[in-house]
Structure 1
Amino acid sequence: MANELIAAAERGDTARVTGLLKDGADINGVDERGRTAALAATHGNQPETFKALLDAGADINIRDHRSDNPLLYAGAEGMPEIVKLAVEAGADTALTNRYGGTALIPAADRGHAHIVQYLLEHSDVNIDHVNNLGWTALLEAVILGDGGSNHTEIVRLLTAHGADANLADKDGISPLAHAQNRGYSEIAAILKEAGAR
């Protein structure tokens, strides 16, 4: 029944999900990929179904075989409704993905400025968390960003919320040096204003 629940959740068939739960389906059961129904609803970008699962008591901190959970996946993929629902439901912002990053880091590197802003303003996510690559959200926004308006806005948001502008990567290269090396003059200016050396 777990697989049927997970498939219904991914399709966004909230009525079927609710029915299966009434019939005793395990709300936190997992499929062969380690996905719960809540994560499957996230994969399908089905906020209504996700909310129904939350209301029924789903554990949204369970990670699949790729170390994804709803908050981590929705943050990386730019799904603001699910990010908001997960944070409001008390998702553990310290849990990390397969790269050792919090939800903030992939949101920053992929240019999801609205999600970065939401996480900074409404969650307790660690702004200076360092992932397995030795990068913070600020470093990823510079290194993996394109220097365009979204990544510039993310750098602005991160520094405005107190990100350490001098936290260098594992090779000792600072965010400012990375920005200058890439010719991102606007980002470099924001970093300098934030005290970057």
Structure 2
Amino acid sequence: MIVRTAATGLVIAAAFAKPIWAQNMETDLHRAAAANDAAAIERLIAAGAEIDARDGSGATALLTATHRNHLEAARALILAGADVNAQDRILDSPYLYAGARGHLGILELTLSHGADLTSTNRYGGTALIPAAERGHVETVRTLIEAGVAVDHVNNLGWTALLEAVILGDGGPRHVEIVRRLIAAGADVNQPDGDGVTALRHARARGQAEMIAVLAAAGAR
């Protein structure tokens, strides 16, 4: 920060933004989160550490804990008021990342502490879409029950149902996810950006059980 002294009119530079000790505490908070050290997190916050400070990637300490699925660290941070929707430079947030990776314990904490169900990742997708793609059945169930829109379309032109078929393996987990999406009201005939439906994708991939589930739901 540049300031001018009243007495001399001289322009001097002053680092008023944050003292060095505060910057160090923020670094320590990220390290404590990475180590899943809830006690250290509580001490640092009590001593004045900025709870939502960012590291070089734009990640908060809570996102650092979420990356490693460190539930105790995440709980300590969330209960202290950490922002569950704070996104890093690639638009991951604790809520979105926990959903995408199936970190169910952390996801449930974010949902009970203000998760923005409409927030989207760098692909324009909600947390439900990558959860469906990766076969996280319980995560999909949790997100559906939380109220995430089942027919949201991402930048690729895919819904959660389409992504479960296109990028899934056609096995029991992805079939169960498609069943749950259908039960939640997903449009089985919503096409992708090229006009191809989930049933046509399933047929092209030889996903016999998926084909049966979709056809029974009226897919074309």
The TM-score, its normalising length taken from structure 1, stands at: 0.97
Output the amino acid matched with 2:48: G
Question: What does residue 218 of structure 2 align with?
Answer: 195
Q: Which runs of 4+ in 1 moved over 2 A?
A: none
Residue 72 (str. 1) matches residue 96 (str. 2) = yes
Residue 4 (str. 1) matches residue 28 (str. 2) = yes
Question: What does residue 167 of structure 1 align with?
Answer: 190
- Compute the displacement of 1:79 (Å): 0.9
Any idea what the Cα deviations from partners look like across 1:37-92, whole Å, max 9, x if unmatched?
Answer: 11111112111111111111111111001110111111111211111111111200
Q: Is the 8 A contact 2:191 2:198 kept in 1?
A: yes
Question: What does residue 102 of structure 1 align with?
Answer: 126
* Number of aligned positions between the proteins: 196
Output the amino acid matched with 1:163: A
Structure with the larger RCO, 1 or 2 (CA within 8 Å, 6+ apart): 1
Separation (CA, whole Å) in 2 of partners of 1:193 and 1:7: 51
Any idea what the Cα deviations from partners look like across 1:101-148, whole Å, max 9, x if unmatched?
Answer: 111000000111111011112x12111010110100000000000001
RMSD, aligned α-carbons: 0.9
Q: Is the 8 A contact 2:85 2:94 kept in 1?
A: yes
Structure 1 gaps, min length 5: none
Separation (CA, whole Å) in 2 of partners of 1:194 and 1:85: 34
Where do residues 117-136 of structure 1 align in structure 2 (5 Å cutoff)? 117-121=141-145, 123-136=146-159
Where do residues 138-177 of structure 1 align in structure 2 (5 Å cutoff)? 138-177=161-200
Question: What does residue 18 of structure 2 align with?
Answer: none
Identity of aligned pairs, percent?
55
SS where residue 33 of structure 2 aligns?
A: helix
Q: Is the 8 A contact 2:74 2:106 kept in 1?
A: yes
Residue 88 (str. 1) matches residue 115 (str. 2) = no
Structure 2 gaps, min length 5: 1-24
Separation (CA, whole Å) in 2 of partners of 1:90 and 1:18: 21
- Structure 1 stretch 101-110 or stretch 41-50: which is displaced more? 41-50
